[in-house]
A and B are shown apart, each in its own frame.
Chain A
Amino acid sequence: MTGVGIENVLISLILAAVALAIGFFWKIPVQKNMSIGIIRSFIQLIAVGYALKYVFDLESIWLISAVILVMILVGSHASYSMSKQVRGAFLISFAAIGTGSLITLCFMLILKIITFEARFIIPLSGMIISNAMNAAALAINRLSSDIKSNRLAVETALALGKGKRESCRRFQQQAVIAGMTSILNFMKTVGIVALPGAMTGMILAGAEPLEAVFWQLIVAYMLLSSVTISSIIAVELTLTSHFTPHHQLKLKS
């Protein structure tokens, strides 16, 4: 089934209505969320669809770059709102997500895996940035809470003449791992538990399964790269934000 049109979407709304009806009869208190979700997803995706069509048709480097920047800013804000307790969380997130995403994208372009075309850049950036965002938020939170709850351990190391980095080494490593857990789990179970969304979409749209698999592998390695870079940068900067330049622990009180 290629050539899907708005009529297919409207028909599939019947499924949503069935879910809504079941919720109503079983008195599950989610009708409100469900209705909002149905309308919201419809409007958001249709709007994005038109926006993408516009960007794709224009094929302007400036417009594509602007879209990427907006995605990075939105991702940074989301990561910030998950880790507000950390000093400078927005800038940390922005640096981590931005660097991880841009380095990865540049490599994809330099190695000629993709060309600078909106239909490659935009969807891949979306995946890269949303994964980098989750990784950064998890890494920032993990390190910050570990430092707080292990204050005596950190300060004992400082008092024995160790620098901030060495005093937090254990927690730094754990935080990088925390940021990378979901991509590592993804790579472990991919294809066995479920087919990833990107691959499913391509197959639905009529691509050869093998081509879909190749793209999926590229996506997985690309995400691994951006998530690793973002996690490490997030951890480095979070560490720095918890100390003065004189290796003194500073906790927000």
Chain B
Amino acid sequence: MTGPDSAEPQNPILRAENISLEVINGGTRKNIITDFSFDFYRGKIYNILGPSGAGKSSLLRLFNRLDEATGGKISFNGKELNQYNPCRLRRRVGYLFQIPYMFPATVKDNLLYVDPSLSDDTIVSMLLEVNLEPDYLASNVEVLSVGEKQRVAMARLLIMKPEIILLDEPTSALDEKNSSLLLKLVKNKVSGDGITAIIVTHDSRQALMFDGETLLIIKGKLVEHGPAKQLISHPKTESGRSFLKGSGE
């Protein structure tokens, strides 16, 4: 498992070793994730690409311990996930759901929910960072568009100052403008603050857009990985070729 470039001496911020996820549904066992291993490094963007139903969301949920892997080991900063208090771990490994959920209140309340001691100045600067006018603070979340909700959810996430952000299909409900806003924001966070972003998508164009190391997951298995452009234009495996033929372009 070698990283994409020469930054090797650095320890991985997140390391997955032979993890598996097995669920029992109506008496039958089903392997959702099989023997997944990978090292994620600080300050980089990773795409997890694969067809719908491949197990991408299920995998992502293991990284902040929303679910428990049934086999293998996941370490964050060199310590196994179960060594951390789960609530504190989740503040360091932020998760953005595919459908943003807003607590029924104002935008400001949603931000204060994470940290009630936030000053008004910090809140305003958070909003500006995600490209929302400060006028939105007093708005009820019901009046927001999906794109705006996604940006509030992003601001809410960033308030926790996470070291890793896990984004599940972040642009699937967004139009072009909102997608490119999100893209810019994520790239800024990664290059500016050294955050690690792990982005799940079923769309190879989105993976190309975010760029970065791309992991191809099919039927719960890591099939191959490599820089987005290279993996998508020259997949090495048969299953990679057949998936990429049907997606993107």
Contacts and interface: CB of A to CB of B under 8 A. Distances in A.
Q: Do the two chains bind?
A: yes
Interface of A: 152-153, 155-163, 244, 246-249, 253
B118 interface: no
Interface stretch (B37-45, B90-98, B221-229): B90-98
Contacts of A246: 65, 68, 82, 86
B87 A155 contact: no
- Rank and list the top 10 A-B pairs by shortest CB-CB distance, nearest first: A161-B91, A159-B95, A156-B101, A246-B86, A152-B101, A161-B87, A161-B90, A247-B86, A160-B114, A153-B101
Interface string B123-150: 0000000000000000000000000000
Contacts of A159: 64, 66, 90, 94-95, 97
A157 B157 CA distance: 11
Interface residues of B, number: 25
Contacts, number: 51
Contacts of A248: 65-68, 86
A161 B97 contact: no
Contacts of A153: 101, 103
Given A153-B101, A153-B103, A155-B97, A160 B90 contact: yes
B108 interface: no
Given A155-B97, A246-B86, A160 B113 contact: yes
7 contacts: A158-B66, A158-B90, A159-B94, A159-B95, A161-B91, A246-B65, A253-B25
Contacts of A152: 97, 99, 101
A91 B160 CA distance: 39
A17 to B, nearest CB: 52
Nearest to B113: A160
B160 A161 contact: yes
A155 B66 contact: yes
A161 B25 contact: no
Contacts of A158: 66, 87, 90
B156 interface: yes
Interface string B78-115: 00001000111011001101010101000000000110
A153 B101 CA distance: 6
Given A160-B156, A160-B160, A249-B66, 12 more contacts: A153-B101, A155-B97, A156-B97, A158-B66, A159-B64, A159-B90, A159-B97, A160-B91, A161-B87, A161-B88, A161-B114, A248-B65
